[in-house]
Chain A
Amino acid sequence: MAKFEIEIRGGLPTDLSKKALLDHLTKELTTYEYTRELVLFFRYEHDFRFKFIHDQGELVLKKKLENQANQKEWVTKIQKEDISNFIFQLVHLGYTEGLLSTGERYVFKKDNFELCLKYETPIGDFFEIEEIVDSENAVPSTEQKLGAFIEQFGLKAWNDEEYTEIKKLSLQSLKKVSLLDESGNSINKEIESFIYKAV
């Protein structure tokens, strides 16, 4: 059965502190999940990524479905203790460099949708709200519902032009890094410390 993903993004207000926004949202949505996220992007034609999230690794391949706006994702989870080995293997497979992005995520869940606040990312602080529906007919009403929901917290969505521009900037702002350090015997210190540092 085809699924339709409705996703709205926008910048986080600069006049509202992280704490104030989290407090405000927590009153309405009760609990949230905090996680740090590291993403290494490889070869844009394949949209192939290595992610570190929820304290474990993920190898992700995103594929646009033909004639559809949504995309299919293949994800394999890699246990934390194997990540260092896997990064070495990636290098042997030819993936010696990647574009690095790190950040913090606060995820709120309500009914069928998920609101995610992303801080300290290469494109600054922003939010994403998304819901997956089974029918194309449900898309407009869901968009409207999600739009109304974020508005009550003073969050404003980017329009298409803004989003395209932000995406372009985000690619430019990402830093290209080697997966291994100069000796070639250890993984990049920045990646290593992000993954293995105590939270």
Chain B
Amino acid sequence: MFPEGSDERGVFWGFLPQKRLDLQKLFHKLSATFGQPDITDELVIFFQYSGDFRIRITNTSLKFLLKTRTAGQWLTKEIVTKIPLEEAETFIRLISAMGYEKGLYSLGTKYTYSKNQISFIIRMNPNFGDFFQIKKTIEGEDFTEDVKSTLTNFLKELGLGGWSDKEYERHIEEVWKDKLHEPLLDEQYNLNKKIRDILIQYQYSVKSNFFSENESIYDILKRTSNDYTELEKAFLNFTAHELVSGDLINYSNSFNVSASIIIPYFNNLPFLIKCIKSISLQNLTPTQFKSLEVIVVDDGSDSRESEFVLQHSISELNSKGVKFQFIRMSENQGRAFARNLGASAAKNEVLIFLDSDTLIENNYIKETLVRHQYLDNIVLVGLKQNIIFNINQDIADLVCKKPDFENDFRYNHFCKKDWDGLYPVTDERLMSCIEETNKFKDFGFGKVLGPYDLPCMVVTNNVSLKKKYFDMVGGFNNHFSKVWGYEDTFLGACLIATGNFVLPLLSTGAYHLVTESEHESGVKAEKKSQLTRNFLVYKDLINRRGYLKHQK
């Protein structure tokens, strides 16, 4: 029962050569015949309910396919409904509601070479190994021996052999044997992570950046926008909630991304205990707690017993299902090095960097991860309130209250002419980077506001991003080791230059714990001196040609 005029194709399948050299030769021959291939990551979900139904998601669309194959005739027929990517999520929900709740997933890269109605397709790393497919689209029922011999001869020239009918059946059987069928929607009715990831990759990564060998990061920043309007639309579409807003998202907007929280720590154990406590007080479900990992990196603290003192905090996290790693460095290397070490040990998709003298409000993780769930290339910058903190104070009430951002420099800052910033202050006034740049959207293209530019907004006191992008830029640059300041600004510059958007997180935030002693001028003078030294390192790195090319 197929409609007249549906797609009909003569098709041969077979495995690709196992030897790397032979594979390279094959690619070379194919390029010589067909030209360059179209390359896309592809997720195929196979259903076996009634008929051979498949969902195929590529960079251009979602295709819903019904296939039949006539054994012995090398002929397949397909009925295809093409769904645009922006409709894909809804379509998958509908298919699931129709009873097609589970399928067999195959994620791989597809190379398509095409010429004169013949397509040669290579699929790498799908569920049953790397294989090829060669097909010729034919009209009506006129599949002839000629078509068959054309395809067979072509395969012979390439040194490939197609599967026989029996082999084909056997491979299909093997694919399905003992394979786990995965649901389209998870328990919270979110899209399966594999589907979500490929949709995000193709639909919502709206900004990509390319740089040449000789460009400096400074050059790239000058031509890079931070207008994340398209991401706002996508987020609103997914959650019915504003991406950058002071309001919390309804609790029903759950997340299923996993996060590693990295806390570098040096000689301030009582604050670290409070910081960890604020993680265990997060407003999360048991499943969500289980998706977290906390990594504390002891940056060579004087006291050697920190791990033992932390036992209570660790047990508290473990009891909630949060995994915990403690890494001790034998000598102090500085925050940049410690954070890199923590990130290299991280196993989860999202990295959240917190300072050990920071408490996060109890909605912080939820608000952060909901955004990372739906958006890919974002650096989510949390704001903070400095508070003078008595170490005996209980934090349970404090973390239930949203911090007041009035004294965060990105929210409000009176810039004086003698301010030692990245840029000289010419106009002495009260400024709000968030307000004056439409929440950073107009802070791209190297714009400078008072002493700041967009990279300055990235402060790793509390910030989050995808691990893959952190790794892509090589993490924190270790030239800033041991010395305070600008290491996070430089990370921000690298992330913006490689296609990330910087967004403020306004619905929640953090408390930065300050002791009375930190108000003493001696400490401030020391920090100022460190800042000046790192300023020169920053200027050198930002203007270095080809820096990012080297990192990649």
**B240 and A85: CB pair below 8 A?**
no
A61 at the interface (CB under 8 A from B): yes
Whether the pair A85, B79 counts as a contact (CB closer than 8 A) is yes
- Chain A residues contacting B91 (CB-CB under 8 Å) are 59, 76
| Complex: chain B residue closest to A183, CB-CB | B1
B83 touches A93 (CB 8 A): no
Once the chains are docked, how many angstroms separate the CA of A85 from the CA of B64? Answer: 10
CB of B286 closer than 8 Å to a CB of A: no
Q: Which chain B residues border A79 with CB–CB below 8 Å?
A: 82
Cα of A75 to Cα of B53 in the assembled complex, Å: 21
Contacts of A77 in B (CB 8 A): 84, 87
Q: CA of A84 to CA of B84 in the docked complex: distance in angstroms?
A: 17
Looking at the assembled complex, report how far the CB atom of B370 sits from the nearest CB atom of chain A, in whole angstroms: 15
A56 to chain B, nearest CB (A): 11
When the two chains form their complex, are residues A78 and B83 in contact, meaning their CB atoms are under 8 A apart? yes
Given A74-B90, A89-B66, A185 and B1 touching (CB < 8 A)? yes
Nearest residue in B to A63 (C-beta to C-beta)?
Answer: B97
Residues A187 and B94 in contact in the complex (CB < 8 Å), given A82-B81, A93-B53, A94-B50: no
**Is there a chain B Cβ closer than 8 Å to A19's Cβ?**
no
Interface residues on B, range: 20 to 34
Q: In A53-89, which residues have CB < 8 Å from any B CB?
A: 59, 61, 74-79, 82, 84-86, 88-89
B100 and A78 contact, CB distance less than 8 A: no
Residues in A with CB closer than 8 Å to B544 are none
A185 adjacent to B2 (CB under 8 Å):
yes
Q: In the complex, what distance in Å separates the CA atom of A76 from the CA atom of B84?
A: 9
Contact of B80 among A48, A82, A185, A186 (CB under 8 A): A82
A92 contacts chain B at the CB level, 8 A cutoff: yes
Q: Does chain A have a CB within 8 A of B51?
A: yes
Decide if A89 touches B64 in the complex (CB within 8 Å). Answer: yes
Once A75-B90, A76-B87, A92-B53 are accepted as A-B contacts, the answer to whether A85 and B6 lie under 8 Å apart by CB is yes
In the complex, whether B142 has a CB less than 8 A from a CB of chain A is: no
CA distance A125 to B523 in the complex (A): 81
Contact indicator B2/A88 (Cβ below 8 Å): yes
Q: Is A40 an interface residue (CB 8 A)?
A: no
Say how far A173's CB is from chain B's closest CB, in angstroms: 26
Complex: A187 Cα to B93 Cα, angstroms: 25
**Bound complex: CA of A187 vs CA of B79, how far in Å?**
14
Q: Are A78 and B97 in contact (CB under 8 A)?
A: no
Give residues 1-19 of B contacting A (CB, 8 Å).
1-4, 6
Docked CA distance A84–B80 (Å): 10
Chain B residues within 8 Å of A91, by CB: 1
Q: Which B residue sits closest to A180, measured CB to CB?
A: B1
> Does A24 interact with chain B (Cβ within 8 Å)?
no
Which of A75, A79, A82: most chain B CB closer than 10 A?
A: A82
Cα distance, A151 to B508, chains bound together (Å): 49
Size category of the binding interface on chain A: 20 to 34
Which A residue sits closest to B93, measured CB to CB? A74
B2: chain A residues at CB < 8 Å are 88, 185
Tell me whether A82 and B90 are in contact in the complex, defined as CB-CB below 8 angstroms, given that A92-B51, A185-B2, A185-B4 are known contacts. no
Chain B residue with minimal CB distance to A3? B240
Contact with A along B37-66 (1 / 0, CB 8 A): 000000000000111010000000000101
Any A CB within 8 A of the CB of B98: yes
The verdict on A16 contacting chain B, using a C-beta distance below 8 Å, is: no
Report A-chain residues with C-beta under 8 Å of the C-beta of B66.
88-89, 92
Q: Give bound CA distance, A113 to B451, whole Å.
A: 49
Determine whether the beta carbon of A76 is less than 8 Å from that of B83: yes
Taking CB atoms, residues of chain B closer than 8 Å to A20 are none
Selected from B49, B80, B84, B94, the residue in CB contact (under 8 A) with A59 is B94
Q: Closest Cβ of chain A: how far from B307's Cβ, in Å?
A: 46
**Shortest beta-carbon distance from A32 to chain B in Å:** 27
| B371 at interface by CB-CB < 8 Å | no
The verdict on A46 contacting chain B, using a C-beta distance below 8 Å, is: yes
A:109-126 near B, CB below 8 Å: none
| In the bound complex, CA of A86 to CA of B79 (Å) | 8
Q: Residue A184 at the B interface, CB < 8 A? A: yes
| B241, CB-defined interface residue at 8 Å | yes
CA distance A84 to B2 in the complex (A): 11
A46 touches B97 (CB 8 A): yes
Q: Which residues of A contact B (CB under 8 A)?
A: 1, 46, 48, 59, 61, 74-79, 82, 84-86, 88-89, 91-95, 180, 184-187
30 contacts between A and B (CB under 8 A): A46-B97, A48-B97, A59-B91, A61-B93, A61-B94, A61-B97, A74-B93, A74-B94, A75-B90, A76-B83, A76-B91, A78-B83, A82-B82, A85-B81, A86-B64, A89-B64, A89-B66, A89-B79, A92-B50, A92-B53, A93-B50, A93-B98, A93-B99, A93-B100, A94-B99, A95-B98, A180-B1, A185-B2, A185-B4, A186-B4
Enumerate the 7 nearest inter-chain pairs by beta-carbon distance, A residue then B residue, closest first: A76-B91, A86-B81, A92-B51, A184-B1, A85-B79, A82-B81, A76-B90
